[in-house]
Amino acid sequence: KAGVTQTPRYLIKTRGQQVTLSCSPISGHRSVSWYQQTPGQGLQFLFEYFSETQRNKGNFPGRFSGRQFSNSRSEMNVSTLELGDSALYLCASSQGQGGVKEKLFFGSGTQLSVL
């Protein structure tokens, strides 16, 4: 079974631009969650989707948004990029409906650099 696939692997943008990242979950997984990883802040939860609905959201500004499609694939969007948005963005999928007991399967991430 293929793992979680994130595209693109690397991305370079300039301040003020917007970016869309894509995540394909493991086949059969219906929950997708997103995380930001930086050397300074570590791993931080962005949001989680199940059945095309956002179920949980972390403490990030409204510039960060996401969505999930009927095939469980997910995208996240960051508008008006700032230098501080440079990070590794990780997507994870899980089998169930999400929640504290879910075992997360992570992709390798998209490394975003904002210049």
Burial of 18 (0-12, 13-18, 19+ CB in 10 A): exposed
Contacts of other proteins in 26-45 (CB under 8 A): 33, 42-45
Count of chain residues binding other proteins (CB under 8 A) = 24
Instruction: Name the residue among 63, 37, 59 with its Cα closest to residue 46.
Output: 59
Is residue 60 close enough to count as binding other proteins by CB under 8 A? no
Please identify, among the stretches 14-22, 63-71, 76-84, 94-102, the one whose residues bind other proteins according to the rule CB under 8 A: 94-102
Q: Which is nearer to other proteins, 1 or 70 (CB)?
A: 1
CA distance 47 to 45: 6
Q: Which is nearer to other proteins, 13 or 104 (CB)?
A: 104
